[in-house]
Structure 1
Amino acid sequence: MDTWKISGGESLFGSVRIPSAKNSVLPLMAASLLCSGTVTLTDVPNLSDVMASRRILQSLGCKVRWKGRTLSITPGQQIGSTVPEEYMRAMRSSVFYLAPLLVRTGKALIYTPGGCRLGARPIDLHLKGLADMGAEIRQSGNALEVTAPTGLHGAQISLRFPSVGATETLLMAAVCARGETILRGVAIEPEVIDLIRFLQSAGACITGAGSRTLHIMGRDFLSGTQFRPCPDRITAATVLCAVAGCGGEALLTNTCNDDLLPIVRVLRRAGCSIAACGPHSLAISSCGRVGGVENLFTDVHPAFPTDAAPLVGAAMLRAQGETAITDTIFENRFSCAEGFSALGASVSVSGRTLYVHGVPALRAARICAPDLRGGAALVIAALQAEGESYLTGIDHIARGYEDLTSLLGKLGARIVSTHWMDE
């Protein structure tokens, strides 16, 4: 069983470059199906979810070339309309292929998407919006068939919740639909803005980026384009929280500082010193025993992001004071709490809230990553613990971090791959 051996108890010092955002790259790859020419994405991280998306594109008839950190996607003349079930189950983001396939082929056959088990993650908002645009939907078990034999038409759609996934799905549907679509109540996360910028670079007519209302005038086709995805704010949050919890000093480069403001504000409240070094870099210093942040709530952007909740929880395990983090997005966000407890932390979960009572020290333990961000949180926790901890379930982490061991290793973190049976 693949395992990381994490030697904790040391402060972190150094400089790291933040890679492009997984949550931007994946919808951009799906949106490439809307383009008539080659799409070139630069600075693409080597993630297992990116590899899964590459397999989906190839199964649909696209030519995909990955050289270094540049990914080139050329849609074929004949695009398939079915995403194989095993590929759908590999990751949540496979649902992004629904709208592009519907636009290109008039039909999409997909299956229940996979991903981390964070609780209910319905796609009803995606489907209702597509139905408003003329799609017909039939579901049988895990299979979902959506058809639009005469194409999609513009519509006025109001989302009851600013869902990132639904916003991105309906954007991809609307850019090539007949007439005008008005989307109200949309998500404004940085990754949504990135998708809008990508579609605009390919010729889409979209106004209102950054607001809760988007106006999209459909085009017959989009062209090929070259695009660089935005920096990964959650990877940046991971580094910031690791330094906050372990103590030390670090410089983060290739950041979008505005996108990190919700996280920066929380860590400053906890006592960290964080300063911008220009618009695309941040410096952080921490004594290693921060103060508790009392009541913290996640919500949609620009509020504190759900993906960062377990990371901040890990940074607070040795805090002087109490911390309570409530996640309003997912009901099972804090599955990592069991691992925190194994490391000697004083934590409990009630409903959607993680309660942390800071302790002076953590101890090494054998722990298992329950999901992507919870796994990264356990790495942060283990780096604070005295001794050598062993973390399994690292496949979850590989979905969203290109090489977390190397990234944190640049700051002096000692994390090496081993096997359970070796120890």
Structure 2
Amino acid sequence: MEILTISGGSGLFGEVRIPGAKNSVLPIMAASVLCRGTVTLTDVPHLSDVEASARILQSVGCKVLLENGRAVITPPEFPGSAVPEPLMRAMRSSLFYLAPLLARTGRADIYTPGGCRLGARPIDMHLSGLEKMGAHITEKDGGALEVTAPDGLAGADICLRFPSVGATETLLMAAAAARGETVLRGAAVEPEVTDLARFLQGAGADITGVGTRVLHIRGRELLMGTQHAVCPDRITAATVLCAVAGCGGEVLLTNTCNAHLAEVLRILRRAGCMVSASGDSSVALASSGALRAAGGWDTGVYPSFPTDAAPLMAAALLRAQGESRVTDTIFENRFACAEGFLRLGASVNVCGRTLHVHGMDLLNGADVEAPDLRGGAALVIAALQAQGSTRVMGAEHISRGYEDIAALLAPLGARITRSWGEPCGRGCRNAGTVL
């Protein structure tokens, strides 16, 4: 078990460069299987999920080198079609290998993917879209899926009932290698979807309508190797901004895409932060640490407020004057971090999908447990505001989405150390050596 020990109560000042996006690099790594030639990705964050994705690539025969923010991937002429169950269970994004393996080999043997426990995350839109393209799907015991397309995939007219990011990315990858033209209606327009489309275009895919709700994809039998710079991680940027907003201080973020941060910046301004942007690739924020409540807002599909940033913003507002409330429309269990907020002395309550935050003057350090990736990061933000020392248990969840959250925030003066210990319940004192 990974443990973060945080000494809070101080302002944060400095400059941070934002790395490439987790939610962009993972589907792009999977899409590299479609290429006949070497794929080189830059601005690749060093995450446990990226390492897990590399192991999946290796399991189907790809050569993978992860080094100094680069991923060099060389697919084999004849990749395998099966992903071992432990690798599928390691992360939700393992599902992205379904379409590339099916398109390259005519078959994919996978398992229901793992990931954070955020509630129901059905994959029916992925599967029904592939069926329209000619795939045959057999569900087996234990969550195993056998998906075949002996005659290859063919273009189809597909309308998504909801602009699912994952389903859009799955069907975009399938269509890029299918015969004929696919029209994908109701597509997600998140920046990470756009980044995947641009990667595929760089490899030779014929895609029009990128960044809109309707994509036209003319399949190509052969996609080439290519080089691609991964887009900046808007949720990592939101994490740093919310930490400085809640603690007070000043930060300059570089390597950003400010258009992707518009809704996060809007709520931070509403709460009393001063925000200024220089072009579209850097943004500065100043906060007195004495925020005012931000009222109510909802998360939603892009360009609405991102679901991943909801617990982060809530953490920033734990000491704001008045009541704030955020409703997550994507996942029913987004705010599992509320229990940790309470242990730190915050006044919060969850009603359905809405988290109510009643600002308190003071938070105090305590032992808390990271329930999931973004909830864990939210607890780090809360702990940085608390007086005294806080230990965040189960921080391996956080490492799935942040290369090293302690190192990310260290340039701002955050005092966070990492250690490892045996999982022995709340209040555990069996910690390893601090790095």
**With structure 2 as the length reference, what TM-score do the two structures score?**
0.96
Contact residue 48 and residue 400 of structure 2 kept, 8 A: yes
Counterparts of 1:165-244 in structure 2, within 5 Å, are 165-244=166-245
Give the C-alpha shift of residue 399 in structure 1: 0.3
State yes or no: 1:303 paired with 2:312: no
1:131–1:391 Cα change, 3 Å: same
Give the C-alpha shift of residue 66 in structure 1: 1.9
Q: Distance in 1 between matches of 2:68 and 2:198?
A: 24
SS at match of 2:109: strand
Give the C-alpha shift of residue 90 in structure 1: 0.3
State yes or no: 1:123 paired with 2:132: no
Give the C-alpha shift of residue 421 in structure 1: 2.1
Give the C-alpha shift of residue 296 in structure 1: 1.1
Q: Distance in 2 between matches of 1:162 and 1:50?
A: 25
1:128–1:288 Cα change, 3 Å: same
Query: Percent identity among equivalent residues?
Result: 67
Aligned to 1:92: 92
1:422–1:78 Cα change, 3 Å: closer
Aligned to 2:323: 322
Give the C-alpha shift of residue 422 in structure 1: 4.8
Aligned to 2:76: 76
- In structure 1, give the amino acid aligned to 2:60: L
- Over the aligned positions, Cα root-mean-square deviation in angstroms equals 0.9
Contact residue 3 and residue 431 of structure 2 kept, 8 A: no
SS at match of 1:421: coil
Give the C-alpha shift of residue 242 in structure 1: 0.2
Deviates more, 1:260-269 or 1:64-73: 64-73
- In structure 2, give the amino acid aligned to 1:12: L
Give the C-alpha shift of residue 244 in structure 1: 0.6
Contact residue 176 and residue 220 of structure 2 kept, 8 A: yes
Q: Distance in 2 between matches of 1:417 and 1:181?
A: 48
Q: Distance in 1 between matches of 2:8 and 2:227?
A: 42
Counterparts of 1:242-391 in structure 2, within 5 Å, are 242-391=243-392
- In structure 2, give the amino acid aligned to 1:6: I
Aligned to 1:31: 31
Q: Distance in 2 between matches of 1:294 and 1:68?
A: 42
Give the C-alpha shift of residue 289 in structure 1: 1.8
State yes or no: 1:109 paired with 2:109: yes
Offset from partner CA, 1:138-171 (integer Å, 9 cap, x none): 0012101110000010100000000000000000
Offset from partner CA, 1:197-237 (integer Å, 9 cap, x none): 00000000000011100000111110000000100000000
Contact residue 257 and residue 281 of structure 2 kept, 8 A: yes
- In structure 2, give the amino acid aligned to 1:117: R
SS at match of 1:363: coil
Offset from partner CA, 1:20-69 (integer Å, 9 cap, x none): 00000000000000000000001111100000000000000001112211
Offset from partner CA, 1:79-133 (integer Å, 9 cap, x none): 1101100000000000000000000000001101000000000100000000000
Offset from partner CA, 1:373-414 (integer Å, 9 cap, x none): 000000000000000011111100000000110111110000
Q: Distance in 1 between matches of 2:405 and 2:3?
A: 13
Q: Distance in 2 between matches of 1:165 and 1:108?
A: 17
Give the C-alpha shift of residue 70 in structure 1: 1.2
- In structure 1, give the amino acid aligned to 2:114: G
Q: Distance in 1 between matches of 2:280 and 2:395?
A: 33
- In structure 2, give the amino acid aligned to 1:127: L
Q: Distance in 1 between matches of 2:114 and 2:248?
A: 36
Aligned to 1:399: 400
1:143–1:228 Cα change, 3 Å: same
Give the C-alpha shift of residue 3 in structure 1: 1.4
- In structure 2, give the amino acid aligned to 1:284: L
Q: Distance in 2 between matches of 1:211 and 1:78?
A: 34
Deviates more, 1:156-165 or 1:69-78: 69-78
**With structure 1 as the length reference, what TM-score do the two structures score?**
0.99
Q: Distance in 2 between matches of 1:208 and 1:4?
A: 44
- In structure 1, give the amino acid aligned to 2:199: F
Q: Distance in 2 between matches of 1:422 and 1:67?
A: 30
Aligned to 2:426: none
Aligned to 1:421: 430
Q: Distance in 1 between matches of 2:389 and 2:147?
A: 51
SS at match of 2:36: coil
Q: Distance in 1 between matches of 2:292 and 2:205?
A: 47
Give the C-alpha shift of residue 278 in structure 1: 2.2
Give the C-alpha shift of residue 2 in structure 1: 3.0
